[in-house]
Amino acid sequence: METDLLSGKKILLGVTGCIAAYKSCLLVRELILRGAEVKVVMTPSAHHFITPLTLSTLSRNPVITEIFPKDSSQQNTWHIETALWADVMLIAPCTINTIAKIANGFADNALTTLVTAMRGEVIISPAADVDMYEYPITKSNITKLTEIGFHFIDADSGELASGLEGKGRLPELQKIIDSLETVLSGYKKDLTGKKILVTAGPTYEDIDPVRYIGNRSSGKMGLKIAHAAYLRGADVTLISGPTQLSSYQGINRINVRSASEMKNSVISEFEKNDVLIMSAAVADYKPENKSSSKIKKEDSLISISLTKTDDILSSLNKGNKIVVGFALETDNEVINAENKLKFKNLDLIVLNSLKESGSGFEVDTNKVVIIGKDKSKIELPLMSKFQTAHKIIDELLKLYKL
């Protein structure tokens, strides 16, 4: 397996003074587990919410809190050395006060001083109460910083510490870590303005109110594609079969159960989108009749007659849209995938072989071959499903002017 992208990366984590500061502990823990080196810098207000001792213990490094060294024999160039050490700086959570200072070039504490000295990318994940987050000056500060190359992670909506409902929550950690990985991989917002429809997960074909015919798809690959496209600026609609997995806020998610529900949703969303990535494992057969009451043992059922579901991809009027399919194969993989690409009128097909260890259902990694209309083949090494998702998007962008 390719090593984790975060392994060995030097991450400077800025923590500012708001209630979400307690979540920085979990963030540091996760980064350390992924093999990153972490140094934390705190603003004076952050101390009201969390102690340097907690963060130094978790990060295994002293926490930077002071702008000037306590010992006058030390040189005061720590900020230059630390900024040069870091591959990336992530400020999470970042208050609107710190955003305002950064937008105006202040270097009045250890954290803001480090921002001004950074050569690597800086990612800001704001957290505030709804009115503070929506405050026009905050918004214009965020716009200003975005224009000069700072990366922002949109706050989530929901119940805030004040009891109010609205936008301003620190996003779930996975979204922050995925954003970090995306920036560290060098990806930009190259899908801004593009509308991408992704399907994910299995479909369930009901036998009776209790039982169904399903498959082992977990939905992970499709979800990672939706997430990677979203972080690269796309407007993403996700049509998901039954899965336990949550998707980022900001993704328009439509939950479906059966192949026919998925077909109806794909058809109604297809027109509004530029690209369809059909990664769902759609059932090919469904029970001919669904029993409206539970089938009892005494009913001496001996067989269930099945009928074919409609092939969703083949029923689309493709026009000039880009359509990507998936092929899950165990035998004659490439030939089968090429046939599917041709018969389903696809632009690309992503071949998943169940024979490869570490790829396929339920796992977090995948090893795929991306096949083009011209029979071009990109064989990707075993990598995380998130990195695979980015590579599929890269191929899409290389082949088609989106």
Q: Which residues are catalytic?
A: 215
Query: What Å distances lie between residue 138 and 12, 48, 135, 149, CA to CA?
Result: 24, 23, 5, 17
366: Cβ contacts below 8 Å, ≥ 6 apart: 221, 352, 358, 359, 360, 382, 383, 384, 385, 388
Question: How many Cα atoms occupy the beta-carbon half-sphere of 238 within 13 Å?
Answer: 29
Phi-psi category of residue 168: left, alpha or beta, with phi > 0 → left and psi -120 to 50 → alpha: left
Say how many C-beta atoms besides its own lie within 10 A of residue 39's C-beta.
22
State in angstroms the smallest separation of the CB of 327 from ligand CTP. Answer: 4
State in angstroms the smallest separation of the CB of 213 from ligand CTP. Answer: 13
Footprint (CB under 6 A) of ligand CTP, residues 368-387: none
Tokens of 136: 């026009």
Is 326 near ligand CTP (CB under 6 A)?
A: yes
Q: Looking at 313, 341, 371, 380, which residue binds ligand CTP (CB under 6 A)?
A: 313
State in angstroms the smallest separation of the CB of 340 from ligand CTP. Answer: 5
Helical pair 220-231 and 385-399, crossing angle rounded to 10 deg: 60
Q: Looking at 31, 183, 327, 369, which residue binds ligand CTP (CB under 6 A)?
A: 327
Binding residues for ligand CTP, total number by CB under 6 A: 15
Q: Looking at 121, 311, 356, 394, which residue binds ligand CTP (CB under 6 A)?
A: 311
Whichever of 183 and 221 has its CB closer to ligand CTP, that residue is: 221
240, 255 contact by CB (below 8 A): yes
CB neighbour burial string for 240-270, b if at least 16 within 10 angstroms, e if fewer: bbbbeeebbbebebbebbbbbbbbebbeebb
Whichever of 50 and 283 has its CB closer to ligand CTP, that residue is: 283
- For the chain, the residue count is 402
d(CA 128, CA 125): 10
Say how many C-beta atoms besides its own lie within 10 A of residue 34's C-beta.
18
Q: Which stretch binds ligand CTP (CB under 6 A): 43-51, 57-65, 98-106, 274-282?
A: 274-282
Is 112 near ligand CTP (CB under 6 A)?
A: no
Q: Looking at 340, 367, 385, 391, which residue binds ligand CTP (CB under 6 A)?
A: 340
Is 280 near ligand CTP (CB under 6 A)?
A: yes
Whichever of 187 and 326 has its CB closer to ligand CTP, that residue is: 326
Footprint (CB under 6 A) of ligand CTP, residues 290-309: 309
State in angstroms the smallest separation of the CB of 174 from ligand CTP. Answer: 25
Say how many C-beta atoms besides its own lie within 10 A of residue 2's C-beta.
12
State in angstroms the smallest separation of the CB of 280 from ligand CTP. Answer: 5
State in angstroms the smallest separation of the CB of 261 from ligand CTP. Answer: 12
Is 284 near ligand CTP (CB under 6 A)?
A: yes
Is 261 near ligand CTP (CB under 6 A)?
A: no
Say how many C-beta atoms besides its own lie within 10 A of residue 215's C-beta.
16
State in angstroms the smallest separation of the CB of 267 from ligand CTP. Answer: 11
Whichever of 151 and 253 has its CB closer to ligand CTP, that residue is: 253
Is 225 near ligand CTP (CB under 6 A)?
A: no
Q: Which stretch binds ligand CTP (CB under 6 A): 76-84, 217-225, 286-294, 326-334?
A: 326-334
Q: Looking at 259, 341, 368, 380, which residue binds ligand CTP (CB under 6 A)?
A: 259
State which amino acid sits at residue 81: E
H helix intervals, 60-205:
78-85, 96-103, 110-117, 130-134, 136-147, 173-184
Question: How many Cα atoms occupy the beta-carbon half-sphere of 168 within 13 Å?
Answer: 22
Binding site for ligand CTP (CB under 6 A): 259, 278, 280, 282, 284, 309, 311-313, 325-328, 340, 344
